[in-house]
Structure 1
Amino acid sequence: MTSYVVTSAPPNPNGDLHLGHLSGPFLGADILSRHLRQRGHDVRYVGYSDEHSCYVPRRAAEIGSTAYPTAKLFGDRMENTLSLGAMHHDWFTRPLTDTTHTEFVQRFFLELWNAGALKVEELPVFRCEPCDRYLYEAEVRGECQFCADPSDGVYCEACGLAQDPAGLANPKCTSCWQEPGLTTLRRIVFPLDDYRDRLQAYYAEAQSKAEWRPRLISYLEGLFERALPDTPISREADYGIPVPLEGWEGHILDTWFSGIFGYAAATARLSEANGDKAEWERLWTNPDTKIVNFIGFDCSFSHAVLWPALLLAQGTLTLPSQVVINEFYRLEGDKFSTSRGHAIWGGEFLRRVNADALRFHLALTGPEREQNNFSMKEFADTVSTVLAGGIERWTDTVLDLLAQDFQSVVPEAALSVTFLDEDRAELPARIAAALGAETFSPQKAAAELAVIVDRAVDDLRQLSLVRAAGPREEYAARLVAHLELLASVAVTSAPLMPGWSAHLAGQLGVPVDMTTQMPKWAALDARLVPAGTQLPDAAPLFFHELS
């Protein structure tokens, strides 16, 4: 058994989560956590709402509110959406009302400060005189200095590169939309290039044990072709976690600095809730603990460069073994956009559709290695062909034939040597390979399951022919083979479709672990539905065609 800490990138509480958000870090982290638990590993899935982000007061101004109620409003919506999608964390910190987050961020900042790992520099900064404020990140909009795509003031969503302080081209204040002036400001800086060699050694070791996705590897290679930038970690502002140093009143710590310590704080809160306050530190300081971060590509600099370097500087906490990125998920061919209203909001959509159906489709079509597209037609096709018209038809036919010909009692039958038996034997290993932390790909797992369902449904005609004309023993063996494969799909698909998996497992008498609420993976080592098992003559429908 291995201990894992799984994280998903902290969302800004400036709106609900849309399907683009759900398709990436949240679904991925949830699927991995479920699979690892099902395999018997010790897993903690944690995260937090990025409530100290400067996007919160910007959004508050847009809706005529203030930062705290805005963070609560959208934080509550995000948590509700995650719950509707069965993607909620084991612990999800709300930093504005949970002091542990601030305590951890300031504690580790002071460790780095006292160790001499930080320095002070006078840096250029945008300043909007009409608004009487310095401009950082959400407060300034312009063009990326590297790729010329539209970008806010810190990281470019398109290329993922950190903008130099005041490096943004054609900047505009996002409040008055006037061009700001330039001035200088004393800021605390982390000298990232000092850790170049240690970072490269870390990447080599981590990538020898796990498959990092190609876009992230290419990004890191390009970044290390030049000197790594000194990274500001403080700002002069009145909203955020204060710099805990005398003489730095009115300065806050950048949320991009705080994040990795936010994950540790969330783990600590979960440990405390489980009755062992010291457990988090044992986990985070144990080099055998596997820490897996799920992010969108645009968070690559923080999670794959800055935060590992901060951990190297801190010296006791464990670095991530895997950083799983995803690309952008598009809606009907265009990028999801909160500002333009071009989005399908998770909370609204999950009140209208089956959560497992959406989870399966997002896994099947998610933007793992390249940008992909969500369309309602393709979602309806997935439901029609794989789920309602596939799994449900398969289940209904097998149980109906069993009821008609064997009084719903699983017959004694030697399993026939057919592709059904081969799929039953090979499916667990295929899904385990697809969903392992080292080579994680829910898309591969979903595709494997879709192929299995398609082949089994195609074989129902052959099953009917054998029933009508073949020896009863051959028919019984083929029917049992279908039943076993169906049960195997129920077990192995649990991380992707937890609701349906537990539902069908219950109908087939396959044991469901009360702790994980999933069928036990170990059950796959033997017959899942033994001869003599009494089954129902039908199972309630779980998936329905979209109306």
Structure 2
Amino acid sequence: MHIHQKVLLVPMQPTPNGRMHIGHGGGTYLRADVIARALRAQGHEVAVITGSDVYEDWVVAAAQREGRSPEETCRDHHAGIARDLDRLSIRLDAWIDPSGEAHRDAYRQLHEDVLTRLRTTGAARLESERIPFAQDTGRALVGPWIAGECPHCGRPCGGSTCTSCGEYFVPEQLVHARSRIGDSPVQWRTEQNWFATADDPGAIADRHRAAGLRPVFLAPLLRALDNHGGRVRLTGQGDWGVRSGTLPAGKVISNGYFLYSVYCGEVHRASTGAAVNPFTPGSGVTTVGLFGSDNSTPGLLVPDVIAQGSQGTLAPFDATVVNGMLNFEGHKCSTSKRHGIWLSELLEGTSVSADELRHTLLHAPLDHGPADISLNTLTHHVNTLREWRTTVLRPALDRLREQSHPVRRAEAALKAAAEQYALLTPYSPDLTAAVKAFDDWIGSPQVPDAEWLVGVALLGRPLLPDLADHVWTQLGFPGEPDLRQAEQLEPLPRQSPATTADLLSAPLDPATLEPYVHLQDPE
């Protein structure tokens, strides 16, 4: 499918209830960064915009656990997550705090305007539903406050989505529902909330099929369409969230991923001076949503339902990139259960670099479903890359400094890079195949000469940006590795030789990582 010269990628907003673990880093955010870098290398104008999901009840749960206010919790983890992404070389064009002074009013107003629009068009309907409450406190047991078994697969879950199978459900569908905040009995009450349902469920499924969504990620969407016709929530119970004067006390507007993305579109419009939001039909900007498979309903269903109900004022994502869940040592990485390796601890407390961690995570085939990595896997990939840098790359760069003739047009490198970039479009990307293409190139039997180094830089740019930039600079090119510049092959005179000491690293001892490994058996 066609990609416009202007592209906006919106990775799903992380919840600021803790710092980022390798499951976060290796999934949605790494995909956004890799795809953006590949598109930029081909000349597209790309922006990656997201922010933290401050209006999520998991923030309140974290605040109670940490003994401080939700506002303090948001501010602290919002800043910490930004540092985590930066340490992993994830480049963002804007990092939004919807509760901050710069965005609070406009963010609330956008949600209120869309809800009003859906009411006006008749797409929004007030419906009755059964909601669980804690009998002793009267708190609505939604989000982090409720647990039970998934109505589809039977696995333990909570909130409104099963992280095992991706099934979305309303509270009354949860099997054996129980409170997560004590032993209080669950009391069911009938409440009224606003919902919207797809006008044409079949068109939603057909659109995602045509966009190349893989069957493993399409399945939860098809179940949702079959089971309830594409019904999505617009308001819900709660005190922490997007409040509105149009709703009674104890109700908030659903802080969904799609309207968050539309707000990111407003930030993009303001920063670029564009006439319309990228989510306006015919905007000329390709919009890309990126999220984990446990968010199939917010990412795949809600955008189409709201777009259909808006009657031409909003368009859904042009492309969606879904990744499976990353397991570490056999269990899903989890902030609330403290299971995994945290990016801040690994990248700040050990010798593991951003490139080395990215190289490891790229080998987990999350574009095809769930995957697992272990401490041994991490150590193996880090040491393999370190040995190659020492025994192959460094000597090649040393020989480059002695070379006096210009770099010839690197036909093989250009061909390999073009084939790799074709794997990194927003339509059915395959990052594991892309890193295999890089591995095949750096391990190829050809002579590691200047033209080979061009390939290292071009194929490495989306995946290992620090290494690629270093090689590109040594070749004498300005800026970042770029296909068009490599095609012209008119490098500037090479810079003074830079030190290659950074290419030399001792083998990683897994014992040095063990203090940073958190293992807790999930419920």
TM-score where L is the length of structure 1: 0.85
Partner of 2:170: 164
1:285 match: 281
Q: What is the CA deviation profile of residues 357-394 of structure 1, one whole-angstrom value per residue up to 9, with x for unaligned ones? A: 11122112252213222223222222222x22114422
Q: Matches of residues 227-238 of structure 1 in structure 2 within 5 Å? A: 227-228=228-229, 230-238=231-239
How large is the RMSD of aligned CA atoms in angstroms?
A: 2.5
Matched, 1:213 2:214: yes
In structure 2, relative to structure 1, the CA distance for the partners of 1:502 and 1:537 (3 Å cut) is closer
SS at match of 1:350: helix
> 2:303 is matched with which residue?
307
Offset of residue 27 of structure 1: 0.4
Which amino acid letter does the alignment assign opposite residue 116 of structure 1?
G
Which stretch of structure 1 is more off in the superposition, 433-442 or 217-226?
217-226
Q: Which runs of 5+ in 2 are unaligned?
A: 510-523
Runs of at least 5 residues in structure 1 that lack an aligned partner in the other structure: 416-420, 460-477, 513-517
Secondary structure, counterpart of 1:104 in structure 2: helix
Amino acid of the structure 2 residue aligned with 1:110: T
1:237 to 1:217, Cα distance in 2 relative to 1, 3 A: closer
Which residue of 2 is the match for residue 498 of structure 1?
465
The yes-or-no answer on 1:104 pairing with 2:104 is no
Contact 1:172 1:179 in 2 (8 A): yes
Q: Which residue of the other structure, out of 416, 424, 429, is the alignment partner of 2:418? A: 429
Aligned-partner Cα distance in 1 for 2:146–2:390 = 52
CA distance in 1, matches of 2:67, 2:414: 59
Query: Does residue 264 of structure 2 align to residue 266 of structure 1?
Result: yes
Q: Separation in 2 of the partners of 1:322 and 1:167?
A: 30
Q: Give the aligned partner of residue 442 of structure 1.
A: 431
Structure 1 residues 143-152 or 24-33, which shifts more?
Answer: 143-152
- Per the normalisation by structure 2, the TM-score is 0.88
Where does residue 326 of structure 1 map in the other structure? 323
Question: 1:6–1:29: 8 Å Cα contact kept in structure 2?
Answer: yes
Q: What are the residue-to-residue correspondences of 1:405-484 with 2, within 5 Å? A: 408-411=402-405, 423-456=412-445, 482-484=449-451
- Whole-angstrom CA distance in 2 between matches of 1:157 and 1:220: 14
Contact 2:41 2:483 in 1 (8 A): yes
CA contact (8 A) 1:423 1:452 kept: no
Q: Is the 8 A contact 2:400 2:450 kept in 1?
A: no
Find the counterpart in structure 2 of residue 195 from structure 1. Answer: 200
Alpha-carbon distance, 1:543 to partner: 5.9
Within 2, Cα distance between the matches of 1:161 and 1:90?
Answer: 32
| Residue in structure 1 matched with residue 521 of structure 2 by the alignment | none
| Inter-partner Cα distance in structure 1 for 2:259 and 2:300 | 15
Deviation at 1:535, TM superposition (A): 7.1
Shift of 1:222: 3.5
| Distance across 2 between alignment mates of 1:242 and 1:413 | 61
State how far apart, in whole Å, the 2-side matches of 1:165 and 1:376 are: 37
Contact map agreement 1:410 1:529 (CA 8 A) in 2: no
Distance 1:425 1:188 in 2: 53
CA distance in 2, matches of 1:133, 1:272: 39
Asked if 1:128 is matched to 2:134, the reply is yes
Distance 1:61 1:136 in 2: 16
Cα shift readout 1:307-326 (whole Å, capped 9, x = no counterpart): 22111211222221221111
CA contact (8 A) 2:205 2:222 kept: no
Q: 1:7 to 1:510 in 2, by over 3 A?
A: same
The letter for the 2-side match of 1:499 is D
User: How far 1:195 sits from its partner (Å)?
Assistant: 3.3
| Larger deviation, residues 365-374 vs 134-143 | 365-374
C-alpha separation in 1, matches of 2:130 and 2:11: 32
Quote the Cα distance in structure 2 between the aligned partners of 1:537 and 1:291.
Answer: 40
Check the 8 A contact 1:213/1:324 in 2, yes or no.
no
Show the counterpart of 2:242. Answer: 241
Q: Choose which of 39, 43, 46 in structure 2 pairs with 1:40.
A: 43
The equivalent of 2:394 in structure 1 is 396
User: Which residue in 1 is equivalent to 2:515?
Assistant: none
Aligned to 1:342: 339
1:151 aligns with 2:157: yes
Contact 2:367 2:430 survives alignment (8 Å) = yes
In structure 1, give the amino acid aligned to 2:129: L
Report the 3-state secondary structure (helix = DSSP H, G, I; strand = E; otherwise coil) of the residue aligned with 2:67: coil
Shift of 1:148: 1.3
Cα distance in 1 between the residues matched to 2:195 and 2:413: 56
Match runs of 1:1-12 below 5 Å: 2-12=5-15
Match status 1:522 vs 2:484: yes
Q: 1:167 to 1:220 in 2, by over 3 A?
A: closer
CA 1:297/1:412 → structure 2, altered by over 3 Å: closer, same or farther?
Answer: closer
- 3-state DSSP of counterpart to 2:43: coil
Q: CA deviation at 1:81?
A: 0.4
Distance 2:237 2:487 in 1: 60
Cα distance in structure 2, aligned partners of 1:529 and 1:536: 15
- The match for 1:474 is none
Identity %: 21
Partner residue in 1 for 2:513? none
Structure 1, 23-32 or 117-126: larger mean CA deviation: 117-126
Q: 1:156 to 1:179 in 2, by over 3 A?
A: farther
Q: Distance in 2 between matches of 1:139 and 1:522?
A: 53
Equivalent residue number for residue 356 of structure 1: 355
Tell me if structure 1 keeps the 8 A contact 2:133–2:188.
Answer: yes
Q: Letter of the aligned partner of 2:459 in structure 1?
A: T
- Equivalent runs, 1:75-94 vs 2, <5 Å: 75-94=78-97
Instruction: Tell me by how many angstroms 1:251 deviates.
Output: 1.6
Which one has a bigger Cα radius of gyration? Answer: 1
The corresponding residue for 2:502 is: 541
- CA shift for structure 1 position 529: 6.1
CA contact (8 A) 2:10 2:264 kept: no
What is the alpha-carbon distance in structure 2 between the residues aligned to residue 108 and residue 402 of structure 1? 58
C-alpha distance in 1 between matches for 2:414 and 2:81? 40
Write the letter of the residue equivalent to 1:432.
Y
Asked if 2 retains the 8 angstrom alpha-carbon contact of 1:18 and 1:343, the reply is yes
In the TM superposition, residue 333 of structure 1 has moved relative to its aligned partner by: 2.5
Distance 2:202 2:406 in 1: 64
Instruction: Write the distance in 2 (CA, Å) between the matches of 1:414 and 1:287.
Output: 41
Shift of residue 232, structure 1, vs aligned partner = 3.1
Higher alpha-carbon deviation: 221-230 or 118-127: 221-230
